[in-house]
Amino acid sequence: MTIVVAIKCTDGAVVACDSMLTVGRAQQNGPKIHLLNSNQIIAFAGSLDLAERFRSITANLMPHVYEDAKTKYQFACYIGSQVVQDFRLTGLNPLSPEDADLMTVLIHDFQGDHEVCLFKFGSQP
C-alpha cells in the first residue's frame, strides 16, 4: 500500500508519504516528494514512470498556467487536462487502474496563497 497525505495550513502546506517506489512490478525505496521550484512541490502514490511524466508535464506547464488561469480551479483543470491529453496520446487511459496507477498531489502558490491540488488517475492509495 502506498499513501500521500497533504494538508493545507494557514501559512503553507504539509505533505508526507511513504518511500516505496513501484517500477513496473518491482519495488524499491526512494523519494516520492519532489521540489519543482522554490514554491511548488509534487508528491505521488503509484507508478514511478507515470509520476515522472506528470512531473515533467507540470514543470513545463507552470509558467503558462500562471499567466492564463484566473482562478485556482482553472489552474487545476488546465494541469489535469494537459496530463490526461498526454497520457491518451501515448495510448494510456487515465481512468483505468491498469493503465494509470497514479495519484499526485501538487502544492503550489496561487495568487499569494498556498494551494493543494489532487490529481487521481485510476489509482487507489
Residue 10 reports pLDDT greater than 70: yes
Strand ranges (DSSP E) for 1-91? 4-9, 12-17, 20-23, 26-29, 33-37, 40-46
Q: What is the pLDDT of residue 48?
A: 86
Residues 54-86 have pLDDT tens digits of 999 888 887 777 777 888 888 888 888 888 889
Residue 119 reports pLDDT greater than 60: yes
Q: Which of 60, 50, 63, 55 is nearest to 24 (CA)?
A: 50
Burial readout 40-59 (b: 16 or more C-beta within 10 A, e: otherwise)? ebbbbbbbbebbebbbebbe
CB neighbours of residue 103 within 10 Å: 23
pTM for the model stands at 0.84
Which neighbouring-strand residues pair with 16? 5
Residues 13-69 have pLDDT tens digits of 899 999 888 777 778 889 999 988 777 899 998 888 889 999 998 888 877 777 778
Q: What is the pLDDT of residue 123?
A: 54
Q: What share of the chain is helix, strand, coil (3-state, %, to 5)?
A: 30, 40, 25
Residue 1 reports pLDDT greater than 70: no
Q: Which of 78, 70, 83 is nearest to 110 (CA)?
A: 70
Candidate ranges 60-64, 104-108, 121-125; pick with highest mean pLDDT? 104-108
How far apart are alpha carbons 38 and 78 in whole angstroms?
Answer: 21
The chain-wide mean pLDDT, for the chain, equals: 85
Q: What is the pLDDT of residue 125?
A: 40
